[in-house]
Structure 1
Amino acid sequence: MDIIQWLIIILLVVFVMRRFLPTKGVTNISVQETKDKLKDKQVQFIDVRTPGEYKANHQPQFKNIPLGDLPRKADQLDKNKEVVVICQSGMRSARAASILKKQGFEKVYNVTGGMGAWR
């Protein structure tokens, strides 16, 4: 193999790892752990699903900020408070949690299984 092929392979591996491995500093929590946090007024709850998904089924403590809007609306959140992020399955919320960490949020939690796991 020549150096170009190795570079392509390395770039692909890095891309896959960054895309699918959890972001450092983001904690995955269960639905039950999320329910335990709902009473805490110091925690911010964000639902990153589309407005239609949110309207069809949501928990009232969660504010709807769709994933696509999050980078420009993150300044509406307090960086010093915990943030719990949810979506339908946990994939979009994992991306959202990563965005928040990169913007300087300290305590970010991703709900594993998302609303699909909520009972």
Structure 2
Amino acid sequence: MTLSPDANAPSLVSRGRLLDCDCLIGPMARPFHAAIRGGRIVELTPSPLLMRSWRFSYRATPQAWAAHWQAEPKPGWHDLLALTKRGEAVLEGDLHPFIAHLQYFKDLLALPRQHFAAAAS
């Protein structure tokens, strides 16, 4: 997987400037281990990673990611917390860094929408 240059864009890094954590993010079966330092993703490694610690995990079904990344997602598929409410995503672990930096994670995980929108044009 290649990290989008937008993931470390100045506006996103600024929003997460106080965030330092390791987390699991991605599909249910094979999430990615992300190391975030000062709002910048410094490492993104596919699982399985044995004995690697993380603070929280946000994983969703492939269908949920596909719906979430549409240029204009339908209600209930547009928001990370809405996906957990639908049962299409799981949020577990120490939720403090996720909730304290919720807008950062919402913006980060919505970045693929730009590519879907460009492809649809």
TM-score band, normalised by shorter chain: under 0.3
- Larger relative contact order (C-alpha < 8 A, sep ≥ 6)? 1
Relative to its length, the structure with more strand (as a share) is 2
TM-score by length of 1: 0.27
Relative to its length, the structure with more helix (as a share) is 1
